[in-house]
Each structure stands twice: as structure tokens, then as C-alpha cells.
Amino acid sequence: MSKLRQLLKLSYCRYYSAQAKKKLPIISCKRAEFNHYEGQSYSKFEGVKLASQGWLNAKSKNDYFIIYGNANKKEEKEVYKKSFEEIGLCEELKEVMLHLGYSLPTAIQAKSFPSIMQGYNTVMTAETGCGKTLAYLLPVLQHIMEWKAHVPEEFNSPMAVVITPSRELATQIGEVAQKLTENLNINVSTLIGGKTKKKLLDPPVEYCDLLVTTLGAYSKLVTTGIFKVHNVHHIILDEADTLLDDSFIDKLANLMKKFAIQFKVEIKTPPKGCQVTLVSATLPHELPEAVNSFMDPQSLRTVTTSNIHKLLPHVPHKFFRLGKAQKPMELLKLVQTDVNLKRPVMIFSNKTSTCDFVSMFLNENNVECININGQMAVPLKQGQLDLYKNGQVNVLSCTDIASRGLDILRTRHIINYDFPLYTADYIHRCGRTGRLGSDVDCYVTNFIAWPREIQVVQKIEMSVRRNNELPNVNANIRRQIEARIANMASKGL
């Protein structure tokens, strides 16, 4: 029996060596017998052999595998390769898009435009970096242009509001909206947290058609009556999975109840009621029950692309098994190469203390590195991010504060110094590179050192080999942690 197994293994290796000469594998491994090719399937009786299967053993250090793309990647149907004119974009906005260098809408822009324009509450889910911000801004701005002559102009009374979970994302979206409306008769304002007490004592007074804001700041200024809600006919929740998380949902639900949200907004001038658009790269298949408190979930139309909850097929992902003591020197080697090639790199850590260590370690080794984390003062954090965005510094150490929504096209390398413990976080971190309009030579490197990290890696590897969505893509991190603690308690751990 042992000789038969050896013969089978030998023929298996020869077969896949022949395959390798024909085409690159989708998963390339240090041990070639674990390579995975497009169209390859696995017997349900034998199970799937993972390159990371033995990584819990300390002897597996320095093993690695690289994922080059998803098996059987689905192409968008031809029907979505439409022009801006075909999807119904008005002349003024078509000129703006052409001026900015966009000749055709992306798949998510073409798919979502009709639903939003017709007044439907919409869930828009698409892979990171594919143009979701423009996908909702274009129809919203077109609505505002149609409504403006029929809605009385009042101070602090916007017609549409974009709500985000972070100041950095609100600032970025505000900048995009300002660029789009530069030559249009539309007033865009950005409202972020910080100095809220000062705003209460000396409230802003301005004409505002589109407001881009953070949840906390907007909620306070609406509650105190400084911002009015009766003219709001469209609310966009960007990074909706985070806003629907347990850490935000109560505040969000209380705010949303103040708006006249309809099952479907009657599109006329002026419109009647308020429509909602939820936007994210990752959303749970079932929305939290709290959504029922402010809108009918049945009213939501889902618009999506074929690559959601999967690794982007055009960005290679290297998974490198290391011991924790190996990580600093491996990081230094990688980053020194990036610096020599003038390749901008973002380094993610799970904790602020590790983020600070990475920055100090690199600077001590003559690599200029800045860092941002959630505990920094807002002006300092924004200043550090600007240094990286404008190219003054090419190395950024950060926590997950920088993982969502930020559109930094120059990033060509993502290093997960600490591997994230949730697949949703992995998708968002990796989405900071390989974005629409960025360089083609982008990639991701992951350091894997701890048992929990290995477990997540094995799930990712399995999903790619099976050509499935990544498992447990659910942003409700607090609920997952509580469930894990409860499970440990039940086992007496």
C-alpha cells in the first residue's frame, strides 16, 4: 500500500509540474505539490490539501504560499459596459467626468445608477477600489441639480447627507465631492468631529446642498437643531457595515428615525420623503435587526459585483509563516527594498503599541517612517496621513484606522505585520492597494506567526481553492468577540 501511495504521489507531482509549464498556478507554494491551478477540483472524500495545514507546528517556519487570483474569475456581463450617456448621466456631470479622465463608468457605477436615480433604497456592495464613491455621488449630485430650484434655500439644511464612521474618510469624500462640483451650482460642506462643543457655542451657518459628515458630529448638531433634516431627501451610509456594527448602531438608529424614510421615494420636484443608500466592500448577508427600527429592509435593492468577499484577482497575496522573533528583520528587508525602489508601502498592525514599535524600529534603522493610529490627536493624524498621500514619506505604519475607504492611489505594497483576525478587516486592508487608477504592480505580504492567525489563513486558502467567498465576512466585530468569549466560558477556559 505504501508503494502505491508513493506512485500516486509521484504521478500527482508530475501532472501538476506539467500543468505549471502551461500556465501559472492560482496558488503557488514553496512545496510545489500544494500548487493550485484554475479548474482544479478536489474529491470530497480526500478533502482539500492546504499549504498552511501544518503551520501550527514550529518546524513550518519560513514556509509560504502566494495567491495570484481567484479560480474561474467571473467577468462582468457585457450589459454593464455602458457609457455614461446610456446609464442616464446628465450632460453637466458627463463633462465633469470626461474632464477628470473618466470615459466609461465602472461596473458598480453602471449597475447602481438606475436604482438610486429611481428613488429606491439601495445596498451597494463591491470590491474595494472599484469606484463606489462616484457610484453614489453621481446620482446624488444629479438629484440635487434637479431638486435645487424647487427646494427653498435655508441655512444648514442639506438635501443629501453622506455619513461615515471616520473623520479621514469624511474628509476624503468631501474632497471628491468638491472636485466634482467645482463648476456646478452645488454647495458641498464637510463636517467632522472634534471641537464639537465649540460648534455648539458658535454654530456653523452656511448654505449646504450636500453634507459629508461623521456620525457623531452630525448626530449632535441635528439633536441640538443646528442642522435641519426636513429637506434631506437622500442619506448615504458609507462603510455601512461599520455603521451597522454594535458600536455605532444605537446612535445611528436614533438619528435615522428623524428622517422620513420611504419604501421608495417618489421622484418629483421637490421629492417626497427620504431614500437611503448603504455602501461597503463587505456586508453581512443578513442586516442587523436594528435596521428594522428606522426602515423596511424589504425595501432595499441589492446592487453588487461578482468579486465581493473575495481576494482581488489582480493583486498577488503572499502568506509567509514566521516566528514572532523573525518579524522585525523580515520587515526591515522588505521595506528597505520598497524604499530603494521608491515603492510606497503601508504596514498594518493590530495594536497601537505595535504600530508605534514598527515606526520607531524602522526609523532607528534609517528608514523614514510615519505612523497613524486611533489614539492620535485629529490634526496630527491628518497631518501624518497627508505626508504619505502627497509623497513626502513613502512608509506608513498604521492600525485599522487607515484600512477603510481611504483612496490613496500611490500605495503599491501592503504589509500585514500583524495578520488581522477577521476576514472583513483583511479585505479592507488589502483594498488600500490595487485601486482603480493606481499602478498595476501592487501586492500584499502577510506575516503569519500566531495560532489564531494561522486559523484565519487556512480559511482564506480553503475559500480560494474551493472558489468560494471568504468566510465570516461580517463587520460586527464586537458581537464576534462576545460570542468567542461566551464559547470559551462554556468550555471552562
Which of 247, 277, 304 finishes a domain?
304
Query: How large a percentage of the chain has pLDDT more than 70?
Result: 86
Range of the domain at 256: 96-304
1 lies in some domain: no
C-alpha span between 288 and 471 (Å, rounded)? 18
Q: Which of 71, 73, 104 is nearest to 87 (CA)?
A: 104
Q: Is 50 exceeded by the pLDDT of residue 394? A: yes
Of 71-75, 271-275, 442-446, which gets the smallest average pLDDT? 71-75
Beta pairing, strands 345-348 & 395-398 = parallel
The predicted model gives 63-76 an average pLDDT of 70
The predicted structure's pLDDT at residue 491: 47
Is 299 found in the same domain as 338? no
Cell numbers 437622500 correspond to 234
**4 domain-assigned:** no
Confidence of residue 452 (pLDDT cuts 50, 70, 90): very high
100 shares its domain with 243: yes
- Say which residue, 393 or 288, is predicted with more confidence: 393
Inside any domain, residue 2: no
Using the predicted structure, report yes or no on whether residue 5 has a pLDDT greater than 80. no
Specify the pLDDT at position 13. Answer: 52
Residue 77 lies in a domain: no
Residue 381 has pLDDT above 80, yes or no: yes
Asked whether the predicted pLDDT for residue 180 surpasses 50, the reply is: yes
State whether 228 and 128 are in the same domain. Answer: yes
Domain for residue 80, yes or no? no
Give the neighbor-by-neighbor strand order of the sheet with 443-448.
27-29, 64-67, 317-321, 443-448, 413-416, 345-348, 395-398, 370-372
Q: Is residue 493 part of a domain?
A: no
Does residue 383 surpass a pLDDT of 80? Answer: yes
3-state helix, strand, coil in the chain (%, to 5): 40, 15, 45
Q: Is residue 289 packed enough to be buried (19+ CB in 10 Å), middle (13-18) or exposed (0-12)?
A: exposed
- Give the orientation angle of helix 132-147 with respect to helix 91-99, to 10 degrees: 140
- For residue 54, how far is the Cα from the chain centroid? 31
86-100 pLDDT per residue, tens? 999 999 999 999 999
Tally the domains of the chain.
2
What pLDDT, on a 0 to 100 scale, did the predictor assign at position 80?
Answer: 53
**Last residue within a domain, chosen from 278, 304, 330:** 304
More confident residue, 66 or 424: 66
Looking at the structure, do residues 337 and 230 belong to the same domain, yes or no? Answer: no
Distances in Å between the alpha carbon of 52 and those of 9, 153, 321? 19, 61, 9
Average confidence (pLDDT) over 239-265: 91
User: Please, is 313 exposed, middle or buried when counting C-beta atoms within 10 Å of its C-beta (0-12, 13-18, 19+)?
Assistant: middle
> 211 and 231 in one domain?
yes
Q: Are residues 273 and 345 in the same domain?
A: no
Selected residue with higher pLDDT from 256 and 478: 256
Given this model, what pLDDT does residue 379 score?
A: 78
CA 83/CA 102 separation, integer angstroms: 10
- Domain assignment of residue 83, yes or no: no
For CA atoms 486, 488, 491, 493, give the dihedral sign: negative
| Rounded distance between C-alpha atoms, residue 88 and residue 231, angstroms | 25
- Give the pLDDT band (50/70/90) at residue 370: very high
315 in the same domain as 402:
yes
Whether residue 377 sits in one domain with residue 281 = no
CATH code assigned at 409: 3.40.50.300
pLDDT of 154 > 50? The answer is yes
Q: Which of 304, 338, 368 is the last residue of a domain?
A: 304
Q: Are residues 111 and 133 in the same domain?
A: yes
Question: Could you read off the pLDDT of 104-128 as tens digits, one per residue?
Answer: 999 999 999 999 999 999 999 988 8
Between 39 and 236, residue with greater pLDDT: 236
How many whole angstroms from its chain centre is CA 374? 17
Q: Both 117 and 179 in a single domain? A: yes
Question: Would you say how long the chain is, in residues?
Answer: 493
- Across residues 420-433, what is the average pLDDT? 90
Judge if 179 and 280 occupy the same domain.
yes
Judgement on whether residues 291 and 150 belong to the same structural domain of the protein:
yes
Residue range 48-56: mean pLDDT, rounded:
94
Contact call for residues 72 and 26 (beta carbons, < 8 A): no
Cell 477603510 -> residue: 404
What confidence tens digit (pLDDT) does each residue in 280-335 have? 888 766 677 778 889 998 999 999 887 777 787 788 999 999 999 999 999 999 99
pLDDT of residue 343: 94
Peptide bond into 270 cis (omega under 30): yes
84 within some domain: no
In sequence order, what DSSP letters do the residues of 159-171 get, joined into one string? SEEEEES-HHHHH
